[in-house]
Amino acid sequence: MNSSGPDSPRILPAVGKYWSERAELSGFFTATRDLIAALWEFVRDSTPSRLRSRFGDADYDWDYRVNTTSGAVGWRDRLLGVFHSPYQPTERALFHEMIATVAEHTKLNFAEFTFIDLGSGKGRALLMASDYPFRRIVGVELIPSLHEIARQNVAQYKSDSQRCSRIETTCADAAEFDFPEGPLLVYLFNPLPESGLRRTITNLARSLEMNPRAAYILYHNPQLEHVLMETTKFEKIAGTQQFSCFTVSK
Nearest by Cα to 175 from 140, 210, 123: 140
Concatenated DSSP letters of 6-68? SPPPPHHHHHHHHHHHHHHHH-HHHHHHHHHHHHHHHHHHTSHHHHHHGGGGTHHHHHHT---
How many degrees, rounded to 5, is the angle at CA 172 between CA 136 and CA 39?
125
Higher pLDDT, 54 or 111: 111
Q: DSSP state, 165?
A: -
- The mean pLDDT of the chain is 85
Residues 6+ away with beta carbon under 8 Å from 200: 118, 174, 175, 177, 192
pLDDT in tens, 177-205: 999 999 999 999 987 888 889 999 999 99
pLDDT in tens, 38-97: 777 766 766 666 555 555 567 888 889 898 876 565 656 666 665 556 677 899 999 999
Q: How many distinct helices (H) and strands (E) make up the chain?
A: 10, 8
Put simply, whether the predicted model's pTM sits higher than 0.85 gets the answer no
Mean pLDDT check: name the lowest of 10-14, 47-51, 120-124, 224-228: 47-51
Mean pLDDT check: name the lowest of 47-56, 129-138, 214-223: 47-56
